[in-house]
Structure 1
């Protein structure tokens, strides 16, 4: 049976009302529009000029599709994804999903904190280590003290600010319109596959897929809010995230030529190239993106762990509140990590990317099973399978590139994690076929 809910539920008449009510997908957008995505976009623009603009546009479309599928599962079950997995696939699969999410988001939390502290230090002149402690306390007090709605309001405000900042910086940078138009034609320059994978991996990520059912539960959304939830995904991922990605990429492609600059280095380089206005707009946009990502990422591990343990997933449950505060405070050591943040952001993206195919496979399995009252349409399933193929390819590219660079300890950890997740994904596909669902709606 195809789904009776769909984008047609969103009309111009209720769009103005939806603008006031939207929110959960903006929290996901806050993670997507973060330092790792920035690093990939800057590297792509500085290395290959405008040639990968089509990948940037594709990433916004893919990110919106993955959020739409996650939204369907959350609304049609009206539960958190871990609980649904445990009921319909079993406890082992639920623990695999929890471990996948906690590892990917936990490592990301430390590196994102390093980025936030570094940007704060660049803007203020105060030590990055001190900023790490300050931001950890702000997270603990804000999130554990005021709960999800505080985060959602902050995410909407910060993402909107980030989009404005990067569009404004774009306005003071010379853009080659002809070259940009040519970049919309799909092509992959030599040695650009990994960078393209990084751009797509920032938009289609395990944390974004798994957190969405919990943020919608926090808002009390049900299947009756399908139109609003669809509008929310479209405006945040296709709109805000898409504009952020395109603007950042075009700035890098227009004036930067050193792909090793990294995020903060790129902002500092803009000053002598095109003026202090562009430098400060870009730096402030980077700061807003890093802070919004840090806050949104903090809630992901507590959501899935609390759900698996049968706790509440809001601050009304003191156990969840304590878990949220602990994750926030444990972010502080990230500011003390040495080394170049650009390479660490690539590692974070690698961990998230190799864990993403399993999460998408879980969502597709459940959307074509007895977990939901309405199975996916053929179009939704085809889109989901395309996402699975894309994310699987991204994961393979990341692992291959790390292996080719020599199996250092961190690369070895990623490799082991990738093998375990790949085995889990294959096991899930076998279970899907065994249960007789392989032909559902496709």
Structure 2
């Protein structure tokens, strides 16, 4: 029974693993610390939007047996618009993931440091974090020697570990269930919470996941008859991911400690209140969140770049490996040294802010093309829900850009 269930699991947990990275953990921690249970509804909306977008991405990948970047390249006929779109996609996903990879690795490092302490080697003005190099090396081994099935098993195991860690920590804190219910269904934005709401949505509805999902499903399923399995896999995994994110919000809200700026602060705050076990659980969760994102971000960058450039998307080709190696290497360098790629991160945030609504619009356009999807194209209901989500992504994307430009 368990073996059959495991065999039916697809890339859904990998997508959940990708969006529950250190950034999501930090945003959820701050949401809970600053606004209590009041913003759980924003995470609920984020999960619904993610399910809709990822289901369309999975359906496209299975029916067309192509990734989204490959379909965009072939379907946009105007040469100028095609080049601009591809340039934006590569800038946001490849360059962006290289910048964000440092955060992914650092998140995993924080989880280890909460348990083992700091391990830094200093040589003159240069300092090197041993844990960053270790995490980078671990991610390299998984990506270089692993095939899709191996990556799937490892990441699913880490997602399960992460889920147990964060949910168990939330249970230990004994939250107020009535207040949680109010937070889920209130749909109210406390004063000063707008940017936090945007951040919760922005860290869950991730552009690179839309590309990654369409590329991964064709590794698992080859026939439109498998759409039901893919849909179930997507819904269960993303809902579970949303539940994990809500658990972090609940945990941060329940302990009611001032000065919480990151999940590592939360881990330290739990120790005197609930003992070592709570701290260890949260540290394990943070480590798992970091390592899964440290693997999926370079993988997504490689799929996107090879698809846009018309190269083979096979995991074992030299070009595919070269792209994820560069992304991973930059992440290790930025994470393990004192170098902070602030300008690159700001550029990536602006590019992602532009890309999210464009990808949502392009995906909606493609999902209505009978030439690609035949009878599996979007229904009126799909389009109605998707249109609302597109409007939401435009708002989130523009607000994110304005935030980076310090105009709000």
Matches of 2:108 and 2:350 in 1, distance apart?
20
2:99–2:331 CA contact under 8 A, matched in 1? no
CA 1:339–1:191: 2 relative to 1, 3 Å:
farther
1:331 partner SS? helix
Matches of 2:299 and 2:29, distance apart in 1: 27
CA distance in 1, matches of 2:347, 2:188: 25
Q: Matches of 2:311 and 2:72 in 1, distance apart?
A: 16
User: 1:314 matched to which residue of 2?
Assistant: 314
How many pairs does the alignment contain? Answer: 391
Match of 1:96 among 74, 85, 88: 88
Summarize the Cα distance change of 1:322–1:103 in structure 2 as closer, same or farther, 3 Å threshold. closer
Contact residue 36 and residue 345 of structure 1 kept, 8 A: no
CA 1:151 to 1:256, structure 2 compared with 1: closer, same or farther past 3 Å? farther
Distance 1:250 1:130, change over 3 A: same
Deviation at 1:224, TM superposition (A): 2.1
State whether residues 17 and 293 of structure 2, in contact with CA within 8 Å, keep that contact through their aligned partners in structure 1.
yes
**C-alpha deviation, 1:16, in angstroms:** 8.7
Q: Does 1:66 align with 2:53?
A: yes
Return closer, same or farther for 1:222/1:349 CA change in 2, 3 Å cut-off: farther
Q: Which residue of 2 aligns with 1:230?
A: 231
Question: TM-score if structure 1 supplies the norm length?
Answer: 0.81
- Asked if 1:119 corresponds to 2:120, the answer is no
Query: Per-residue displacement from partner, 1:161-191 (whole Å, max 9, x unpaired)?
Result: 1111111112210311222222121100001
Q: Distance in 2 between matches of 1:101 and 1:288?
A: 22
Counterpart contact for 1:137–1:328, Cα < 8 Å: no
Deviation digits for residues 226-265 of structure 1 (CA, Å, limit 9, x no counterpart): 0110011011001x20220121111111113436421211
Q: Tell me by how many angstroms 1:156 deviates.
A: 0.6
Q: Distance in 2 between matches of 1:79 and 1:347?
A: 29
Root-mean-square deviation (Å): 2.7
Distance in 2 of aligned mates of 1:264 and 1:352: 26
Structure 2 residue 356 is the aligned partner of structure 1 residue 356:
yes
Tell whether 2:384 aligns with 1:382: yes
Q: 1:345 to 1:326 in 2, by over 3 A?
A: closer
Separation in structure 2 between the aligned mates of residue 169 and residue 101 of structure 1, nearest angstrom: 33
Q: CA deviation at 1:124?
A: 2.3
Alpha-carbon distance between aligned partners in 2 of 1:373 and 1:19, rounded to the nearest angstrom: 30
Is this contact kept in 2: 1:71–1:212, CA < 8 A?
Answer: yes
Cα deviation for residue 354 of structure 1 reads: 4.2
Q: Which residue does the alignment assign to 2:62?
A: 75
Aligned to 2:98: 106
SS of residue in 2 equivalent to 1:396? helix
Q: String of CA shifts for 1:76-109, please: whole Å, max 9, x gaps.
A: 2111112211111044233433333223322211
Structure 1 pair 267–288 and aligned structure 2 pair: CA distance change class (3 A): same
Instruction: Report the equivalent of 2:173.
Output: 173
How much does 1:340 deviate?
10
What TM-score, normalized by structure 2, do the two folds share?
0.88
- Tell me, yes or no, if the aligned pair for 1:64 and 1:237 is still in contact at 8 Å: yes
Tell me the distance in 2 between the aligned counterparts of 1:383 and 1:346. Answer: 31
Match among 24, 35, 39 for residue 48 of structure 1? 35
Question: Structure 1, unaligned stretches of length 5 or more?
Answer: 1-13, 407-442
> Counterparts of 1:77 and 1:371 in 2: how far apart (Å)?
6
Tell me how far 1:272 sits from its aligned partner: 2.0
Counterpart CA distance in 2 for 1:350 and 1:232 is 32
Deviations 1:356-390 (A, max 9, x none): 11111111111122332233101111111111111
Q: Against the structure 1 CA distance between its residues 345 and 308, is the aligned structure 2 distance closer, same or farther, given a 3 Å change threshold?
A: closer
Give the 3-state SS of the residue equivalent to 2:372 in structure 1: coil
SS at match of 1:372: helix
| Aligned residue number for residue 24 of structure 2 | 37
Gaps of 5+ in 2: 121-127
